Structure formats: C-alpha cells, structure tokens
Structure 1
Amino acid sequence: MHLRKTYKIGLLFAVAIVLLQIGCSKFDKTFQTENSAILSGGQQTVFDAGSGAFGHPFPVMPENLQDVHEVGDAQFEATFVSAPAPLNPGRGPLFNNVSCSACHISDGRGKVPGIGDTSVSTLFRVSIPGTDAHGGPNPVPGFGDQIQNRSIFNTQKEADVAVSYLDQRFSFDDGTFYYLRIPTYSIINTYTAFPGNAMVSPRVAAPVFGLGLLEAISDEDILSKADEQDTNGDGISGRANFVWNYVTNSTTLGRFGWKANQPSILQQVAGALNGDMGITSSIFPKENSVGQPQFDHRNDDPELSDSLLHAIAFYIKTLAVPARRNVDDPVVKQGEILFLQAGCNTCHTPDQRTKVDVSFPAISNQLIHPYTDLLLHDMGNGLADNRADFLANGREWRTAPLWGIGLTQKVNG
C-alpha cells in the first residue's frame, strides 16, 4: 500500500514537471518582450526551424481570416491547365510554369539553373532601350518583357535560354584565393528574330513569407531612410523606386521584386499569374501573347476571379516569419558585432515598425526585424544586369530581407 502511494506521488510529481516544462516553453515562445530580437515578425513570428518554416499562417489572426488564408493557399498550390477545363483553366498559351508553388518552393526561393538545365523557377526579363508609356521597361517586339519558354499544345514557345558559367579566380588581402561563378545567358531557339540590342536579366523566384509585414511599413518610413546624395557621408546612397500602380492608375512607391518594381502584393501576384502562367485577371486582363502569333483569341478573360486573386494575395500577405535562432550563441554574437562594424546594417536595416492599421490589427504597429530598407543601392559592375526598371538603373538592386535566410538550405535545398 505504501509503495502504491509512493508511486502515485512520484507520478504526479513527474506530470507536474512535464506541465511546468510545457508552460515554460510556451512562455518562451509566446510572451517575449516586444523588443526581443527573436521575434523577427513581431506577433506574427513562428517557432519552426524545419523544412516547413516558411509556410505558416499568422499565428495571431481571427478564424474567419484563417479560412481566407486557406483558400489562398489552395490556389497558390493549384496547377493551372489550358482552357477549356472545369478546374483551374486559363494557362497559356505562353507560360513559364504551371503553379505559384512550382517557383516559390515551400514558400521559399527558386533554384538557379545549372548548365543545361531548363529555367523551372528562374525567369528572364527582357527589354530594349527606352521606356514604355508609364516609364517602365520597353518591351521587346514579339517577346514582351519576359521570355516564356513553354507553351500549350500546338503553339510555339517564344524561346529557350542557355546558361553557362565561367569560374573566375580572385584573392583576399592575405593572398587566399577563391573562385566566383560568372553566368552568361543566351536567348536561343527563338520563334522569330530576337533583337541584338535587347537586354536580358534573370529573376530567381524569391521567398514570399513576411511580405504582408513589409507591405505594412509606411511609405514615409521607407523614404525617410533614402539618402540618394549621401548627405550624411556614410558612403550609402539608397534611393526609392517609383513605379506604375495598375490598381490605382498612378505612380507609387515600389517595394517588392529584385528592383523594387512592384508597389503591392496584389499587383505582384496578378503580374506573376499573367507573365509566368498566362492567367488573366481584372488587373492584367490581356494575355501575355497579345500582338503575337501565339495569341489564342479566346473570349474568356479575365480567367481568374477577383475573389481568388485576392485570396492568393491574402495568403502571401499572412505568411508568418520564422523566429531568429541562437541569439545567445557567442559565435552569433561575434558575427552580429562584425555585421555592425562593417556597416551592413546601413542597408540591411535590422528593425522596422509597421504602421497603425485598424482595418487589419494583425499587422498593425508591429516591431519587426526584416534586415532591409526596401531601397535601391548601386551594387557595382560585378552585379550589374545593365537593364533599367523604372528608376532603378542597371547597377541597382533592392536590399533583400535577411530574415529566415539561415533556414533556406533546409527549406529549399
């Protein structure tokens, strides 16, 4: 009898310890102070360091909005097919891929094509000298502003892109050698003549998590960090890109894309559907093949309803950010010191705060740590694509966010 009582007491004690540990674990994750560097996405931070780290919805969001997120998720994963079809019709006649998730793998980045690979999750922007009616890149006659290397049955694709690399040797100040791969891209197998003065620039699909929080940073905060003439003398001259907004029919601040050439998640989504898959919408109601022999002349535009378009945009808008890890590791702390000493933080701004938004409290007034200023910076000749995009010249690129970058290998390989 005494032994049974002792066993019960021991069991209760063990259960109490487990519950205490669970409670402490939950406290560590949920009740961090607002200023904690761990909370990369503020309230919308998730604690997953596995292969699904980029694919979580906002943890703090009403249930009805979670439902909208799920609808958008399903559409993001959906495979589009050529019309007519009962489900997900409208792909083509020209396209690069069949779904959003085929490029943005596990909501992360795409893959750079190797020698002889087809560009499955990398596309190629093209243009000729000059600008279009809105100050953007000037489309290539017969090809538009993007090479579509795939087409539906009985239709000619525009072209293929051949990729080659040159390994070039460089050295550090201490004499240690290292090699960098310099890519060369060639437009081949064109259905018609490709102009010799056309400019070509690759675009690897970028991660899509955390974009809703970046969109919630006010224009004023972004512009306050611009210093085009380097008036403070720190050697950094970030500047904003101003681009055409097809939703408002006006020029607005650009913040998404490799050259900050997209003003909003909604336009980014609509543009990708149209350019990458040939799916028309109310924002881009014309096929990407208009004016070319591949145009199908079908009277089915727009092919994607506004409700589904907005659901996809909302899905991306409400993807959470994985927490920063190992903040107390001495090596990590030393790296942070070097990061600051080298001035990396002058472009990769660690802290941002989202604007107050009573219409969507989930993203309102959040202290976040994206490590970007969302501005354009001159990256020199070595990284130049020599192709302008609105105000961004051929040497300028938008500062890429660094949050979650340590999980890229695990998520995307």
Structure 2
Amino acid sequence: MQRDDLTPADRARVADVTAPAADFSKAEPFELMQAGATTIKKLINADIFSHPSANLTFEGRQNFLIGNGLFRKDWVSAPSSTQASDGLGPLFNARSCQACHVKDGRGTIPGFEVSERPDSVALLMRLAVPPVPGAVATVPQTPGSDKTVDRSQAVDVGDPVYGVQLQNFAVAGMPGEGSLDIQYTEVPVALAGGESATLMAPRYRIADLGYGPMHPDVQISPRLAPPMIGLGLLEAIHENDILANAARVHADGVSGKPNWVHDGATGKRVLGRFNWKAAQPTVAQQSAVAFSNDMGLSTPMFPSHYGDCTPAQKQCFEMPHGAQPRLGDEEVPGRLMDFVATYSSNLAVPERRDIDDARVLAGKQVFYAANCIACHTPKYVTRRDAERPEHRFQLIWPYTDLLVHDMGDGLADGVSDGEANGREWRTPPLWGIGLTKTVNPQATWLHDGRARTLLEAILWHGGEAQASRDRVVAMSPAERADLIRFLESL
C-alpha cells in the first residue's frame, strides 16, 4: 500500500523517520517541533492554542485573522439590525464556535457533585434510534429535512421529534428541546504500589423536554468539544498511511478500523478523520456540521436554514432566517466558510517541552512498553501534495492512528456514527495534551469530560486497550508518574 505522492527515494526517507523509537536515552531528531514547520515557539499562557501556523504566508495570516473573528463572534436570531450576523437557530446549543472550544481548546463541563444540572454549552448530546428489522415507522434522515428513511435499514437515525442532537436553547417564541441532568458514581481503582484512584462514572438523563416524549429506543451520547490545534495537518496525512495502520498486526488484539463516511462536497465515500468517532472527512465539513447542528446556521454544504429542526417541530419552519440576498442564499456564505476553514486548519501546535528530561524519556519508554502506540501512532510525514502549502511534507507527531477502536463497555454509548458502532471511538491526538489545563483550567478529558486527570482517562480504557490499561495499573508509582510526565510534555 504505497503513497502516490512520493518517489521511491522519498518513501525510504519517510519510512526511516517515522519508524517507532528504539532508543529512549535521548530525544529523537526533530521531536521538539512536533508539528513540523507549522510548530509555534511562543510564551506558554492561556492563549497558546490560538496562534496561526508558524509558516503561514502574509495572506494566509490575514485570512486566519478574519476566520478568527468569525469563530469568536456571537450570532443573533433573525431579523436583526446586525446584518450578516443573524440567523441563529431556531434551535441551537451555542451562539459562537468559541463558546464550546474554550480558547480553541477543550470545552468545559460542570463540577462532579453527586447531582448537578450543567449549564455548559460545550457538552452536546447526540441522539440516535437504532434500526429495527421489519419496522415500517420512519424518522428524519438529515438535520432540517422532511425526508425520512425506514427504520429497518442498518444505520442509526435521529429521534423522530428531536433530530440528531439535543438543542437546549431556542430563539424567542420557541421552547428549547430540553436540559441535561448528570449524576456521577464514584468507582475506586486499586493501583500497584499501594496507590489508588477514583473514577467518576456518569449517568445521563434528559429533562424538561420541550416537544413531548422522545422515541422509547433513543440512545444518547454526550460529546465534549475537543481542542482545535493541528487539524489541517491531520487532514494532510495520506490516506494510505492511515489504512496501513488498520492493516498492521498489533499485540493485545488491537485492531483499529477506518470509518468510511459521506463527503458532502464530492458525494463520495471517503475516509473519516474528525470528531469523536471519525465521522467527518474534512475540516470544512466538520465546521459546516457544527454551524448547522450547534447554531442552526446554513452553509453551502448544509443549506437548510433550520438546522436540526424536524417535521414534528412545525413552529421551527415558521421562524425567519438570516440569509442576506446581497451575500448569498446561506446565512454563512461560502467565502465566510473558507475563512473559518483556514482558521480551523491552521491553529498551531506548540513545540514540545523538556524532551531531554530523564523522567520524560523514561515515561516515553513505558508509553511504548505498555503498547500505547498500537493506537496512538506517534508520527507521520504529511502529503507532498496537501491542499494547503503550509501542511506539505511535514514530519509531525500527533500520536493517533485516526482509526476507531472498541473501547469497551465503560465508554460505550450505543450510538453509531458512520461505520463506527456504539463501542468504537477514534483515537484522539495527544499533541498539546500537556497544555490542556493551561488553556482551560476547568478542562477535563475523554469524549464526555468524565476524566479529571490524565491517569483517570487511561484507567477508563477498555476493550482493545484493556491490556495497556492493565499494564499501567501494574506499574510502580514512579513509572506511572513518569508516564504522566511524558504526556504532559506533549
């Protein structure tokens, strides 16, 4: 399975520089610049995830700054005197992109009291009704569409009343769809060396339903807004390198699979790379889906002005939209989407820290020894023919295979997304993970934010990652501390 963008000489060079580490006595060449020439060298502070790629051109930086303004601005409902900023809703989760991606990092969930109703907008609830063989009832096929599909087909579909995502807010004159209750149960875990940890197991319930009951078989899946850095570089990884990860034989029964999804721009079946289940193929489509589902804003890719409204919510379709005839048929026209995609593709990854530190190197060795790299593939060389010049032929260290894996019962949500089933999740990139709390002190980890620490996130691993998780449990306290020290250096 060879790359079509490389000469034979290039292939040999790429194979050499992307080979797994074998010497843990020192840092590897170029490891400091974990995002290649796009890596930024900046003062470490709360804005460290908000800088443009270091190698952007002057014009690229201008477009990045315009995209930054669009990413941060608050949208309002239509009609409004603030033209080109209206069209929010009718149903929505947030008024801006930045409201969920705090300083371009992870979103925030509330604290972990026994029972608490969150007011955070960053924790979204996906809704899905599983297929029922022989069923004749139909449910909406796409957000804001009156088209329906038979429930006997072998895919999950949205709730007939509430669609594919719960929107807890609505424009004036309409009720929101509901609110979220979370209850946590403490789960103690004994660790080798006399240590212990306590996991917080969440239980979710949707309350205050605004449009009547949900389907009795509906499954709900919380999804926390992930960090935004390095997305364009992930898109620039050659497809064959990702498929090679899927074909590779790993220890412990690890066997990731690609999630093949629909590309809204080309209509083709393509490799998914983005969101928690790799259900979106491009940064542009991921952005368009967020505008549609999270804010109810139309784009060229998803032109409905009514977002995730369903036929059961008739009032939704009676509300005015914010498209301006002088700008186009959509509330977020194509040119604005291009600026947002440029911004989202070029939020830079910071350089590594303490790569020669003895404890960091020891932690890297135990990371390898625990077989964490079976999913968290350390490095790639991006395509020579990547769409954006700044992303071409860069040695990068994202620590992900961009595949989905069975993560066990503890993390299962029962919701399919593309070809990823209810137990499968995409391996999240690890670059920047050590700066998570610097950017957002309230940030937590995993798809629903249940892990308060990196160690808790590891201890939630099950399924294909169970053996690696158990090795971490069996480590000495010093080895576990070194492992966390390595992760904090990323």
Shorter-chain TM band: 0.7 to 0.9
State the match for 1:198 in structure 2: 218
2:257 maps to a residue whose letter is R
**Distance across 2 between alignment mates of 1:35 and 1:152:** 54
State the match for 1:322 in structure 2: 350
Q: Does 1:409 align with 2:437?
A: yes
SS at match of 1:339: helix
Give the TM-score, by structure 2 length. Answer: 0.74
Are the structure 2 counterparts of residues 34 and 360 from structure 1 closer, same or farther at C-alpha, using a change threshold of 3 Å?
Answer: farther
Give the TM-score, by structure 1 length. Answer: 0.88
Q: Deviations over 1:168-199 (max 9, x none)?
A: 22323556443210001101111211122100
- CA drift of 1:135 comes to 7.0
State how 1:151-300 maps to structure 2 within 5 Å. 151-173=170-192, 176-191=195-210, 192-227=212-247, 231=249, 233-286=251-304, 287=306, 288-291=308-311, 292-297=313-318, 298=320, 300=323
Q: Deviations over 1:364-405 (max 9, x none)?
A: 000000011101111111111121112111111100101011
1:343 maps to a residue whose letter is N
Q: Does 1:370 align with 2:370?
A: no
- CA drift of 1:122 comes to 0.8
Which of 162, 166, 171 does residue 147 from structure 1 map onto? 166
Determine if contact 1:113/1:163 at 8 Å carries over to the other structure.
no
1:379 maps to a residue whose letter is M
Are the structure 2 counterparts of residues 234 and 137 from structure 1 closer, same or farther at C-alpha, using a change threshold of 3 Å?
Answer: same
SS at match of 2:405: strand
State the match for 1:93 in structure 2: 90
- CA drift of 1:302 comes to 1.7
**Distance across 2 between alignment mates of 1:198 and 1:385:** 11
Q: Percent identity?
A: 40
Determine if contact 1:135/1:390 at 8 Å carries over to the other structure.
no
Which of 56, 77, 81 does residue 82 from structure 1 map onto? 77
**Distance across 2 between alignment mates of 1:335 and 1:393:** 32
Which of 36, 60, 73 does residue 42 from structure 1 map onto? 36
The alignment yields a C-alpha RMSD, in angstroms, of 2.0
SS at match of 2:367: helix
Q: Deviations over 1:187-238 (max 9, x none)?
A: 11112111221000000000011000000001111111104xx745552101
Are the structure 2 counterparts of residues 316 and 57 from structure 1 closer, same or farther at C-alpha, using a change threshold of 3 Å?
Answer: same
- CA drift of 1:130 comes to 2.3
1:52 maps to a residue whose letter is D
**Distance across 1 between alignment mates of 2:277 and 2:387:** 29
Q: Deviations over 1:263-307 (max 9, x none)?
A: 110010000011001111111111121422341433645211110
Of 285-294 and 252-261, deviating more is: 285-294
Which of 54, 66, 70 does residue 71 from structure 1 map onto? 66
Are the structure 2 counterparts of residues 217 and 135 from structure 1 closer, same or farther at C-alpha, using a change threshold of 3 Å?
Answer: farther
**Distance across 1 between alignment mates of 2:73 and 2:193:** 52
Determine if contact 1:386/1:393 at 8 Å carries over to the other structure.
yes
Q: Does 1:112 align with 2:75?
A: no
1:348 maps to a residue whose letter is H
**Distance across 2 between alignment mates of 1:358 and 1:186:** 43
State how 1:320-399 maps to structure 2 within 5 Å. 320-357=348-385, 360-399=388-427
Q: Deviations over 1:293-326 (max 9, x none)?
A: 3414336452111100111011011111101110
Are the structure 2 counterparts of residues 73 and 240 from structure 1 closer, same or farther at C-alpha, using a change threshold of 3 Å?
Answer: same
Determine if contact 1:82/1:92 at 8 Å carries over to the other structure.
yes
**Distance across 2 between alignment mates of 1:307 and 1:155:** 31
Aligned residues: 379
Q: Deviations over 1:66-119 (max 9, x none)?
A: 111111011001100001122411101100000000100111010123422223
1:57 maps to a residue whose letter is P
Determine if contact 2:162/2:310 at 8 Å carries over to the other structure.
no
**Distance across 1 between alignment mates of 2:63 and 2:379:** 29
State the match for 1:19 in structure 2: none
**Distance across 2 between alignment mates of 1:358 and 1:176:** 47
**Distance across 2 between alignment mates of 1:362 and 1:168:** 46
- CA drift of 1:359 comes to 5.3
Are the structure 2 counterparts of residues 138 and 333 from structure 1 closer, same or farther at C-alpha, using a change threshold of 3 Å?
Answer: same
**Distance across 1 between alignment mates of 2:206 and 2:223:** 15
SS at match of 2:200: strand
State the match for 1:15 in structure 2: none
**Distance across 2 between alignment mates of 1:105 and 1:408:** 10
Determine if contact 1:374/1:399 at 8 Å carries over to the other structure.
yes
Are the structure 2 counterparts of residues 312 and 136 from structure 1 closer, same or farther at C-alpha, using a change threshold of 3 Å?
Answer: farther
Of 53-62 and 172-181, deviating more is: 172-181
